[in-house]
Chain A
Amino acid sequence: MRKQYGALVVGAGIGGIRAALDLAVTGHKVALIDRRPTHGGILSQLDHQFPSDHCGMCKMLPLMSRDSSSQFCLRKGLFHDNIDIMLSTEVAELEGEPGKFFVSLSTKSPLIDPTKCVSCGKCAEVCPVRVPSEFNAGLTERTAVYLPVPHAIPNHYVLDLDNCQRCWKCHDACPTGAIDLKFNERVDFHILVVDRDPAVETMLKDILNELNFPLHCVQTGQAAVDMLASDDRIRLVLVGMNINDMDAERVLTRSLELNADIPVVVMAETSQISTAAAMVTQGAREYLVKPLEAKRFVPWLDKLYMRIMSDTTEDLEVGAVVLAGGFECYNPVVDPEGGEDIWSYGHPGVLTAVEFERLLSGTGPTGGRLLHPGDNSEVRKIAWIQCVGSRDVKKNADFCSGICCMFSIKEAVLAKKATNGAVETTIFYMDMRTSGKGYQRYRNKAEHEKGVRLVRSRPHSVIPVNDGMDLKVEYMTDAGELVSETYDMVVLAAGARPPGGMEKFALTMGLDLNEWGFAQMQPYASERTSRLGVFAAGSFGEPRDISESVIQASAAAQAASRIIKVYDVLAGIESEPEPEYPDVSREPPRILVAVCTSCPTLEQTVDLEALSRKMSAVHSVCKVISVGATCTGEGWAEIEKGAAEFKPNRVLIGACMPYAYIPRLKELGRSIGLNPALMDVVDIYTPTFVLESEGQAEKEVFAALSMAVARLQGADPVPVPVTVDVARSALVVGGGLAGMTASMAIADQGYGVCLVESEEELGGMAMRLHTQLDGSDPHKFMEELIGQVEKHPNIKVLKDSRVAISRGSAGRFRSAIAGPQGVFPLEHGVSILATGGHETKVYESGLCVHKSVMTHLALEEQLATGVLDAGALTGVAMIQCWRSRDEDRTYCSRVCCPEMLKNVLTLKKRNPDLPIYVFYRDIMVQGFMETYYTQARKAGAIFIHYEPDNKPKVAFEDGKPVITALDPVLNAEVEIRADILSLSSGLEPNDVEDLLEVFGVEVNEDGFYQEADFKWRPVDFLKQGIYMCGAAHSPRRMDETVASAKAAAQRALRILSTEKIARETVVASVRHSLCSLCQACVAACPYGARVVDLEEGKIIVDEILCQGCGACAAVCPNSATILKGFHDGPMMSVIDAALEQPA
């Protein structure tokens, strides 16, 4: 029986996690797999992300029904009731169709049983192998048996068989027998060898004698087939290509017919390699090249045996598939064009960006100190070199990796911070691509406040000088001077590449790839791959930064849930009933304390018997039991047994890594009928590291346990949750591309949508576009979308209307819509603001005065409608950033560069000899958009850079523009006479001042909506139940707008998919009689969950918004604010317990 899931998510980096969580919280079961032994993707290696320069990944965790998922550091671990995580797992096969895919997964065994491993590390201590550590990007070494990331919870060792030397020392060292190398099963592993060469038989017999495998040698194919048919003990077939009676292919086919799972290995002569390789595609496991040498053959066979015996496969049935395999970083070492040589990669002072990030990490090789990997000296001068392996046609990378500019600025800022500003930082770049939300401000701050030096110039190479102590970087200034500088460290901003093994993966999944080896995505639906029902999340379809990856992941989740819904209308609706627990609030507390005794350090430092005695004496403790290794299945069974026997109404467990136990506590709760809120796990392991004085560890462990006892004693009997009946429909404000897309996404899931548009027609800004760079027809797309929206039975479109008032909170809003027919009320569960933007109005450079001057949009229109005849033109000039990225508007409008390229390519197509000159500051075309910039240059357009303090000057002669500007390469004025001057006017958000009031939301300093968190909650407002998308969020192109709209819809579905929203167990409340209305709590609340109601004279807490962090309770001067479960009384008892000496 295949296990059934709503969706399979491939890749457990942030894209995969976001998509999986989005699906899980709307009630879909998700299988989340990753081929690595860890989750978190590349971000498990990165400690800091701009603009906060911290992490913050945990903000992705669910805000509602928080108990169903982990609520701790997301880099450490993740669990959710609806998500099954399978690591070291890959897709072997995908068949079927949308709604009903059949998936085969194959999982590489870690060879260490996680239910037995106590993470003591004794295996790693004895392991003789040293290989570069993936986690530290090769800056440190690891053993073959190792922890893939040091911070995971739970954290179990894995055995990297490929690098294992088979000394078996780890096996002998393991105190719990967790390492299973299948020694005893060897005698049952029969191997059949088919080969005519007697030497092979002799050699194999010799070797296999030592390995204990039973061996059967035959000389003919027929004999082999007969044996396979009659003897079901055969577990492996080795077939030579020299047998006479049938060819090896035939033996392979027959073997697989007899036993589809039998591994067949081909033994080939060097001359037969191509045939042997072909046999692998026909189902052979692998091939070996003769002559077989014992030195290589024995370890190979031994490891193959362990793989065959330990690896597992699993078959699933899933409704949809989401691919979130991310990208890999360009590696200068494997570049056949000599990327390694040019950049001196291999010199200890030359690092890639990820390596540098590891160097700055607290868990990195230097503990976060900025020390030179060569000699551990302080680093004084660092250069970053951008576009290493990106924007390089010679490396088949005619694309921009999209992440490196901000990555490098952040690293420079971090380096400054790590050295108190002492280190000199220089970034060499071609175009500084700061086109994301807030990026330009971050750049300006780095440059002008933090002292990061930015140099627009690409050095030729990096050359070690001074006996290799320094690195010489030479570059050209704009003045034409060659400057030579030396650095002690150079960081290469290595770009993105498709994930390793992409071609094979694409074959398995049935995907088309683009010319650079990434998945081919569809226009206006950047989450759709070429295969129906298979979607791309995160940066799988195109290299993207975190914020856009997260948006893309939610969009993919939305598309997947739509498919799941189409084929299974009940999907996501049924949810497991919450278990009911007996009310124990009137019983005296009886606490069972279980102390884990498996930690080696605990036994050495603490007298466990004395501890048990002392704990037994603590008030309300009914029993103390010692458990060997609670983290193992066996240990847990002991606790269950104890709980069943002593019938406590509180359970306390002393062990290590408390977070790891949360899912298990829930299971325990179900099995013994006790609310998990009345259970706790405390860390008694960490105190054993503090050994300042005799007996201190014992005191600390005792204190930790008795504090938890005090806390459990005072644990509130769980109240009947306050619930909100959800009004299961949405209000969408704005009928442009974003609003319509979001409306469709919600309506298709069966919920009502009221779409309010202030204009008389739907469509918005996108209606002004006539063509797209990818050749698609935006008009046709928009017309179809408008048609679908207007006909959709679940969507009510109100044109020429406005939202006059909106009150309430997530799940139940009451709003009033004012339109031509008057005002009418609306109840809805969520609101989506998609109010869009518009082209900036400019009255400069002769725009609106001379007919020859127009904006890019107007030029596109004139070209599309035939008003302008490109063939009759003799010269065209364009100016970029005309009204963006200056004091008035400190952001990049993002759409103007692609718009300019579109016009350039259209003009050049119609009139190839037409001279076109483009004045620009930085060409902002991320990802695969870069290729259009290349095409524009190839077509002959000339691009001239200008600095904002020396903008091109525009004059007119006979109504025609004459542009003079400094060409920095020639260091000379160029004078351009053109028929037409086209200006990039930039994009501004629409005025939403009235809506801010109505919805109680905010905009940022540029007038775009302020999201809850730029990276991790990019389409949420801080106020729950309200979401944003489209150009009102940030300047976006059409496909990016669509992605944000689908993401916003998916976030909204979280609320719409439930009938009731229950109150969380830990929320704050106000005792109004004690409240002095000082409002300190309102300012302190990071979630905006508190408002002051002046009429009532009360502080009101929105229980849905409140996340129970306790910031309010901490600032409240007279304890008027209290946190459920953390009242003063119990907290005082906890403090008393902490200070109490053991009796």
Chain B
Amino acid sequence: MGETTVLAVEPKQSELMKKIKDLLPEGGNLNMCLACGACSSGCPATGMEGMDPRKFVRLALLGQEEVLRSTPWVWMCTMCRRCIHACPMGVDIPQLVYLCRQTWAREDRPKGILGSCEQALNTPGNSAMGASSEDFKFVVEDVLEEVREGQPGQENLVAPIDKQGAYYFLNQNSREPVTEPDEMVPLWKILSLVGADWTYGTKGWAAENYCMFLADDDAWETVVRNKAKAVEDLGCKVWLNTE
């Protein structure tokens, strides 16, 4: 047992919490919390900044608004949803965290996430790495050629770009073309093996969306709409996002 911090908490009514509960379907089930600890025992961010999901929900229920608004822990959450997956009461901790992120002024939000979102907004491919569509096209074609030549049996491998009317539109996390281009190949091979009719695009091709992690709803929507338009423009039936 650690030392007991004698910190007096006086429960309060919190405007923020009222707003959050109104916003979420079923109030995000936040009230339902049994404080069992299943969320915290499975959370990769447990212990960071002296916080864990169970504690965070508890503070929320006791109306400790200033902690909710100020703890940098909300930015440690990876939005993996392991907590709600195991929660017997379906307490929507990820949504609580998301809405608490929104209480932060945009400029105070973590530089890395903010920067990645800005990059995505500024490139037609929505790449958080800022990779241009030309570079993406070049890397894909280059890697494809290498595989066709260097790997026996892969002479007919394809990695189409902007193929009008393909069935699947495939997004690609921009980390691979920029830093680990060879890691794109296995998926190409799988798609080829199953005979899928697919294509990359030069627009809206990046799979990641840091604007979501930034909790910037408008920017998130802009990015998603841009990608959806790219899918529609090529007349694809299914949008495959590998994130």
Contact = CB atoms under 8 A, between A and B. Distances in A.
Contact of A460 (B11, B32, B35, B82): B82
Interface in B38-59: 38-43, 46-47, 50, 52, 54-55, 58-59
A482 B2 CA distance: 12
A974 B10 contact: yes
Contact of B13 (A458, A915, A974): A915
B90 interface: yes
Contacts of A970: 7, 9, 55, 58-59, 62
Interface in B161-189: none
Contacts of B11: 915, 917, 942, 974, 976
Interface in A372-424: 387, 391-395
A970 B64 CA distance: 11
B10 A394 contact: no
Interface string A306-326: 000000000000000000000
Contact of B31 (A460, A913, A940): A940
Contacts of A1083: none
Contact of A939 (B7, B31, B35, B86): B31
Given A457-B36, A937-B33, A476 B41 contact: yes
Contact of B9 (A481, A937, A945, A973): A973
B63 to A, nearest CB: 9
A967 interface: yes
A974 B8 contact: yes
A975 B31 contact: no
A964 B87 CA distance: 29
Interface in A206-224: none
Contacts of B90: 393-394
B21 to A, nearest CB: 9
A743 B52 CA distance: 57
Nearest to A969: B58
Contacts of B41: 457-460, 474-476, 482
B88 A392 contact: yes
Interface string A1084-1106: 00000000000000000000000
Given A393-B88, A940-B31, A969 B54 contact: yes
Interface in B1-37: 1-2, 4-11, 13, 29, 31-37
Contacts of A395: 88
A974 B4 CA distance: 12
A848 to B, nearest CB: 28
A974 B1 CA distance: 19
B113 interface: no
Interface string B65-99: 00000000000000000110111111000000000
Interface size range of chain A in the complex: 35 or more
Given A342-B85, A460-B42, A942-B62, A479 B54 contact: no
A966 B7 CA distance: 9
Contacts of A917: 11
Interface size range of chain B in the complex: 35 or more
Interface string A954-994: 00000000001011011111111100000000000000000
Given A342-B85, A387-B88, A480-B52, A938 B7 contact: no
Nearest to B46: A482
Given A460-B38, A943-B35, A974-B8, A967 B88 contact: no
Contacts of B219: none
A482 B40 contact: yes
A960 B52 CA distance: 34
Nearest to B2: A479
- B contact patch SS: loop
Contacts of B9: 967, 970, 972-975
Contacts of B35: 943, 945, 969
Contacts of B2: 479-481, 971
A85 to B, nearest CB: 40
Give the most central of B7, B38, B46: most A CB within 10 Å. B38
A906 interface: no
A869 interface: no
A387 B34 CA distance: 12
A460 B39 contact: yes
A395 B11 CA distance: 32
B42 A474 contact: yes
A479 B88 contact: no
Interface in A641-661: none
A967 B58 contact: yes
A936 to B, nearest CB: 9
A461 interface: yes
Contacts of A338: 85
A282 interface: no
Nearest to A394: B90
Contacts of B224: none
A972 B31 CA distance: 20
A873 to B, nearest CB: 14
A57 to B, nearest CB: 34
Nearest to A482: B46
A987 to B, nearest CB: 26
B192 to A, nearest CB: 31
Interface in A447-468: 457-461
A297 B47 CA distance: 61
A461 B88 contact: no
B143 interface: no
A934 interface: yes
B212 interface: no
Contacts of B6: 972-973
Interface string B181-216: 000000000000000000000000000000000000
Interface string A928-940: 0000001001111
A235 to B, nearest CB: 50
B36 A458 contact: yes
B61 interface: yes
A969 B55 contact: yes
B10 A458 contact: no
Contacts of A783: none
A478 interface: yes
A482 B58 contact: no
Give the most central of A395, A476, A970: most B CB within 10 Å. A476
Contacts of B42: 460-461, 474
A930 to B, nearest CB: 11
A430 interface: yes
B62 A966 contact: no
Contact of A938 (B32, B52, B59): B32
B8 A973 contact: yes
A686 interface: no
Contacts of B47: 480-482
B5 to A, nearest CB: 6
Contacts of A391: 34, 88
A908 B5 CA distance: 32
A420 B41 CA distance: 32
A776 interface: no
A1115 to B, nearest CB: 53
Contacts of B8: 964, 972-975
Contact of B32 (A937, A964, A976): A937
A461 B86 contact: yes
Nearest to B53: A476
B52 A476 contact: yes
Contacts of B83: 460
Ranked nearest first, the 6 interchain pairs of A and B with the lowest CB-CB distance are: A460-B42, A458-B36, A392-B88, A476-B37, A479-B2, A972-B7
Given A461-B42, A971-B2, A972-B6, 19 more contacts: A338-B85, A458-B37, A458-B88, A460-B42, A460-B82, A461-B86, A476-B40, A476-B46, A476-B54, A478-B1, A481-B47, A482-B40, A915-B13, A917-B11, A969-B35, A970-B58, A973-B8, A974-B11, A976-B10
7 contacts: A394-B90, A459-B41, A476-B37, A476-B54, A478-B1, A480-B50, A973-B6
Interface of B: 1-2, 4-11, 13, 29, 31-43, 46-47, 50, 52, 54-55, 58-59, 61-62, 82-83, 85-90
